[in-house]
Structure 1
Amino acid sequence: MADPPPLTTAELSRLAEFLYRRTGMVFTEAKRYYVERRVFERMSATSYRSFADYFAHLRLDADNEAESLINAFTVNETYFYREDHQLACLTTDLLEQRVAEKRPGDRIRIWSAPCSTGEEPYSLAIWLLENWKDVDAYEIDIVGSDIDTDALQAAEQGIFGRRALMKLSPQLIRRYFQELDDERWLILDELRRSVRFSRVNLVDSGQTRPQGGFDVIFCRNMLIYFDEQSRRIAAENLYDNLLPGGFICLGHTESMSRISPLFEVCRYSDAVVYRRSHGAGA
């Protein structure tokens, strides 16, 4: 069956506004092909040929169909040990500073947002087990969140392909994964249980606030999809979820200094990160 007619400028604008209100992500005329391809997939899945009819359905069934539409627009490109210089910084510098204010047995909380299909929070768990000498001295709480419910379901299943594991050594794969076949590996149950997953929209404080306070937040390659206003809102929400003195790690192309004055820049040998100054708790 042929694709529906191209979206009119007005239709594209209405759809972009709908997505922006719900996600903070910005889609312009320059991304028309990307937008049309995904909305046409959802129109086909819901048996609509007319965008006007589909959009009416979207508004009437906003919660369910909006979730499916948002899932179609999210980018879940990641792999284990991505930007591992930040993981090295985590165990060399960041956690050492955080535990200086804690006692053995206290909780260390780390948030991976967005977590995509689970590679990033599971990477944190593996890296800590392999590289942090004090890993058994503290109660470690790793939370992975994303706006994409399909990605979260995949993360909870914990099955990964060859490309996702490409940066892990054969020894690490044997230690933490069960081989299902030549192309799929299942992460061990113990690691799956060590990460808690939840759906969170970073521009919605009603969804971020209940996550509580964290010592370290990894929010990598997410803010680049937002406009200036959404980036500021997300930054404020992330700030509110950091404990005083806590750190946030962004993607290598992102800079919190250009988004918000709330954070201090911290330059370490392995990475540049951002810190919430000491003050009132989250």
Structure 2
Amino acid sequence: MKTDPDKAKITIGAEDFQKFREFFYRKTGIHFDASKRYFVDKRLVERVEATSSDSFRDYFSMLRFQASGEELQTLTNLMTVNETYFFREEYQFKCLVDSLLSEIVARKTDRHPIRIWVIPSSSGEEPYSIAIYLLERWPGIHAWDVEIIASDIDTRILAQARQGLYSARSIQHLPDRYLQHYFTRQSDGYQICRDLRQSVTFTRVNLTERADTRGYRDFDVIFCRNLLIYFDDVSRKTATETFYDALRPGGFVCLGHSESMSRSSSLYKVRKFPEAIVYQRPVETA
């Protein structure tokens, strides 16, 4: 099969790359440093070719001014990394069950559901892991309604999460009993049971867009793990303020093991539990 010689000549100069990087940052909050140049260029060239654009500059012009935003969403789906598996960083789920929920329940003066927000949802392993952990390890699950909302900027990965079909690698850390109870073996992987698929609501959210996050309120716990490492200081500050607004007083944020709010925000109280360090929106007092 012959390749089109014109397509092989697609290049992205330093100035054009910088303009794209600034544009993508404004739209998504994701910052690409120089070490990601090869990764970014490769995916940009793929989209130049897929859209039959004559050059990167033609493609970039279309990307910026396309009214529907469809190409920006397609490119965002390609640029985001979705590396996860069931029960990743399990110690935080243990913290949720053994420490956080007892405080949350003690503060509740009504029977409103316990609300958990997972962002980014990626392909669903994390929110489904939380659901399984609650069913298996938290006695209070029989007394309280729990809502799990899982959000991501990547529409393609959200479709995968709703389907709930996983490879052997994704489920490798699950106990056999959980695998047998909550999954069905398919020809192309393992599908999580319908009840769990229906227990998690998946939504498309850009964390840096206030219009997207304005309706997300009254959460008791937010899991945002391994996302802020892709943001710069300004975007991280915006994200932590968004979480503050989304939490009920006394609510908690769980970050990835290499992430911290110490440089991003002074809004939160650092809580050191036996299982993990988490960040708490202070309880309002009269």
TM-score, normalized by length of structure 1? 0.95
Give the Å deviation of 1:3.
3.8
Segments of 5+ residues of structure 2 without an aligned counterpart are none
Give the Å deviation of 1:140.
0.5
Partner of 1:7: 12
Partner of 2:201: 196
Deviation string, structure 1 residues 69-126 (Cα, Å, up to 9, x no partner): 1111101000010000000000000011000012684310000000101111111100
Instruction: Give the SS at the match of 1:231.
Output: helix
Partner of 1:20: 25
User: CA separation in 1, counterparts of 2:9 and 2:270?
Assistant: 49
2:183 aligned with 1:177: yes
Give the Å deviation of 1:231.
0.5
2:92 aligned with 1:86: yes
User: CA separation in 2, counterparts of 1:95 and 1:261?
Assistant: 24
State the AA in 2 paired with 1:188.
Answer: C
Paired residues of 2:10 and 2:45 also in contact (CA < 8 A): no
Partner of 2:158: 152
Paired residues of 1:104 and 1:137 also in contact (CA < 8 A): no
Deviation string, structure 1 residues 51-81 (Cα, Å, up to 9, x no partner): 0111122123251000001111101000010
Partner of 1:209: 214
Paired residues of 1:160 and 1:185 also in contact (CA < 8 A): yes
Across the two proteins, how many residue pairs are aligned to each other? 279
Instruction: Give the SS at the match of 1:216.
Output: strand
- Work out the percentage of aligned pairs sharing the same amino acid: 47
User: CA separation in 2, counterparts of 1:112 and 1:69?
Assistant: 23
User: CA separation in 2, counterparts of 1:51 and 1:247?
Assistant: 44
After TM superposition, list the pairs within 5 Å mapping 1:100-111 onto structure 2. Answer: 100-102=106-108, 105-111=111-117
User: CA separation in 2, counterparts of 1:260 and 1:3?
Assistant: 46
Moved over 6 A (4+): none
User: CA separation in 2, counterparts of 1:36 and 1:248?
Assistant: 34
State the AA in 2 paired with 1:137.
Answer: A
TM-score, normalized by length of structure 2? 0.94
User: CA separation in 2, counterparts of 1:244 and 1:273?
Assistant: 15
134, 139, 159: which one pairs with 1:133?
139
Partner of 2:224: 219
Give the Å deviation of 1:264.
0.5
Partner of 1:44: 49
Instruction: Give the SS at the match of 1:16.
Output: helix
Instruction: Give the SS at the match of 1:96.
Output: helix
State the AA in 1 paired with 2:47.
Answer: R
Instruction: Give the SS at the match of 1:265.
Output: strand
Partner of 1:264: 269
